[in-house]
Copies of this chain bind each other. A is one copy, B any other.
Amino acid sequence: MKKIITISREYGSGGRTIGELVAKILGYKFYDKELIDMAAKESGLSPDFIEKTEQNISSGWLYNLLLGASYATNTTGIGITGSSSSLPLADQIFNTQRAVIKKIAKEDNCVIVGRCADYILKNSKDIDQSSLFNVFIYANLDDKLERSTKKYNVPEDKAKELILQIDKRRANHYNTFTDKIWGRRENYDLLINSSVFGIEGCANVIANLAKNN
């Protein structure tokens, strides 16, 4: 049985919704960006957890995260003021997310969307690799345009550019923090087109494969 399912996805492919459905079908916990960040903040309050994060992330930085200092406010690549860590902020965020993802994956059966979780867990020695299932969801452009305009209220004339930009950003983030290329088959166990099989169809395939393997 696959107990840890990671979902990577193109923007507008419905990957997040598919992940939620898979978690619901299997009775697994569900985590996306917001929930991981929340978990990171909560974890930041636990000195015990902080000690466990592998790159010795400063509590000063976690305090700043708690107070809402965002990545966007620091584009110099230099550590945030007051942080005792010499790591750039982006690295600190990645390291915290990594620690949180590993903690989540060890605690309970779960579905994790985004955040390089596939790579982080595939390269974690303390994760049972046979329980890990890495999925990539993609879709045809027309469906991504429709989803982004109808579900996320993106203006029609901006939708295509936005889709390309967000996926480019996701790819850049992945390619920066891993030694792999985002969306390439070798990183995943399954890649499935949600335009062809639908949101529920994809969720059922993933849930069945998780149950039977």
Contacts and interface: CB of A to CB of B under 8 A. Distances in A.
Interface of A: 133, 136, 138, 183, 185-186, 188-193, 196-198, 201, 205, 209, 212-213
Contacts of A192: 189-191
B189 A196 contact: yes
A213 B185 contact: no
From DSSP, what is the main secondary structure of chain A's interface residues? mixed
A193 B189 contact: yes
Contacts of A138: 185-186
A138 B212 CA distance: 19
Contacts of A196: 133, 189-190, 213
A155 to B, nearest CB: 25
Contacts of A197: 189-190, 209, 213
Contacts of A186: 138
Contacts of A189: 192-193, 196-197
Contacts of A190: 190-193, 196-197
Contacts of A133: 196
Contacts of A212: 201
B201 A205 contact: no
A170 to B, nearest CB: 14
A183 B188 CA distance: 13
A192 B205 CA distance: 12
